[in-house]
Each structure stands twice: as structure tokens, then as C-alpha cells.
Amino acid sequence: MSENQPGGAPVPQPGPDAGPAQATPRGPDAVRPGGARRRRRISLGIQAAVFVAAIIAVLLAVDWQTVGESVFNFAAVAPMFPDIILIGFGNTLLYTATSFAVGLVGGIVLALMRMSAFPPYRWLATVYTEFFRGVPALLVFLAFGYGVPFAFGVQWPIPVVVMASLGLVSAAYISETLRAGLQAVPKGQYEAARSLGMPGWRAMVTIVIPQAFRLVLPPLTNEVILLTKDSSLVYVLGLAAHEFELTKFGRDGITALGAGLTPVLVAGLMYLIITVPLSLLARRFESRGAGRSRS
């Protein structure tokens, strides 16, 4: 902590005269100017020692042969390919993309309702948002996967169930993100646009929404990451082989292949292939958005 505070370290001083004036607020360090630097060096040394000790302990304690057989047994999971990519990876992408599409459209509608001048729209949107942010996504899956067929006698195909369940849940989160983004654009932007003679819709489309879009890109990308992972919840429903996604492949692999945890590890790596680039993308949006977000 203290390493990052320039005030704590003996910063190069502008000149000998500046010394006494700056010394007072630095307290004990002023007496012994090398104190802060020495303490920082000791702290770093302790951290390094703990790190090395932990690594040695892990190397000694772990039974590497067992780990090799049941976690990194990649030879034994060969039968998972190419289906885990062609079906599992593909279905995870499909479930994520369709539910994000539903969530985005629903989120836009809900955000507009939240900002409507007609109070019942606002109430409705608030109730919806609070409900779907407050219940577990798993429960929504059960409702659409088992509840709807029971109640109405219609059995939707699994991709539709996923699209509806995750889409409805994510719409609640996305609407809040969009609303925050629109409200984060300063009111003066809208006023400046109106004062140039733009109608309200034109001011929104040309001036406010493009700025809000930059602000919401990082959180929207994070929402896609969450959806990618939440699509695994579909495993609680009975799936046909062509509907399997990554988690289902990983789970079935545990019992079928005798490779211990390896199938789960493989599935996990597949998720990372999707989520890590998205995460990097979100970070790039963040740093780019920061440059031009203020007037």
C-alpha cells in the first residue's frame, strides 16, 4: 500500500531549500529519510520469501503422478473431440448470442420504460427489473424448462428455453446499464443540441446515444461474459445430444472417460477461449471511452 504513495517515499526534492518545508508533514520519516525506502524493501523481501516458500510447499506436497492422471490426462479426453468443439462450443456460443439479443432488445425497451413520462411504465419496468435481478437464473431456467410445459402444455425446444430464460434475466441487468449510460451523458449535451435547433429525437440519436454507447460498451461486454457462463445452467434441463453445451460435455466426460477432472478442465479452457478475449475487449473499450467522455 505505502509503496504507491509518493508522499511516503523520499521523492527527489527540487532543491536543498525545499527539504525542511516538506519534511514536517512526513512525520518520523523526516528524521530518518531512508526509513520509508528501507521499510518498503523489507516488505518486498517478505512477500518474495512467502511466495517462494508456497511454491516449494506445493511442489513437495502434491502427488504429481495422480494429478497428471486425473487433471492433465489430455490423452484420455481425445474422444471428446471434435464434438465438444462442433457441438458444445457452438451451442454455448449460440445460447449466449441469442439470449444477449433478447436481453439487449428487452433492455432497451425496459430502459425507455424506466425513463418514460407515463408513470405505469416506470412502475412496471421497476418491478420487472427488481424481480429478475433478485431471483436466481437457475429458477428461471426451471420455470421455462419444466414449469411452462406443465402449466400450458407447450414444450419449447431447448435453445428457445435458454434464449427466453437468460434473455429475460439479462434484460433486467442490461436495462440498468443502458439507463445509467444515458443518464451519465451531461444534460448540457442535450441542451446544446436542442439550442442548435435539433428536435429531441435528433439530439438523442446524434448527440446523446453515441456518447452513452461508449460508456456502456464495457459493462455490456461484461454482460456477455456473464451470459456465456450462465448458459451452463441449461444442464439442469434434460438435453438431447445435439443440444449439449460445454458444461454438459465436461460433466459427462467425468463419468465416461475415466480421466478424472480433465474433461472439466478442457471445458473450462473452452470457456476461457470465449471470455478472455471479451474481457480484453472490454478493457480496451474502457480505456478508449475515458479519453473522450467529458466535455
Partner 1 sequence: MTNPSPASPAAPSVQASGVSITGLNKSFGSNHVLKGIDLTVAPGEVVCLIGPSGSGKSTLLRCVNLLEVPDSGTVTVGGFEATDEDVDLNAMRRHVGMVFQHFNLFPHLTVLENCTVAQVKVLHRGKAESADVAKANLERVGLAGMEGRYPDQLSGGQQQRVAIARALSMDPQLMLFDEPTSALDPETVGEVLAVMRRLAGVGMTMLVVTHEMSFAREVADRVVFMDGGVVVEQGPAAQVIGNPQQPRTQDFLARVLNPTDVEF
- The C-alpha cell at 18 is 525545499
The burial of 141, by beta-carbon neighbours within 10 Å (0-12 exposed, 13-18 middle, 19 or more buried), is given as buried
- The C-alpha cell at 176 is 440498468
Least distance in angstroms from the C-beta of 203 to partner 1? 10
Q: What is the binding site for partner 1 (CB under 8 A)? A: 186, 188-189, 191-199, 202, 206-207, 210-211, 214, 291-295
Q: Which is nearer to partner 1, 164 or 212 (CB)?
A: 212
Q: Which is nearer to partner 1, 156 or 213 (CB)?
A: 213
Helices 90-114 & 158-184, crossing angle to 10 degrees? Answer: 40
Q: Which is nearer to partner 1, 130 or 191 (CB)?
A: 191
Evaluate the CA torsion angle 78, 80, 82, 84 in order and state its sign: negative
Q: Which is nearer to partner 1, 126 or 206 (CB)?
A: 206
Which amino acid is located at 170 in the chain?
A: S
**CA–centroid distance for 289 within its chain:** 18
Q: What radius of gyration do the chain's Cα atoms show?
A: 27
Calculate the alpha carbon distances from 113 to 2, 92, 128, 208 in Å: 47, 31, 11, 17
Q: Which is nearer to partner 1, 211 or 232 (CB)?
A: 211
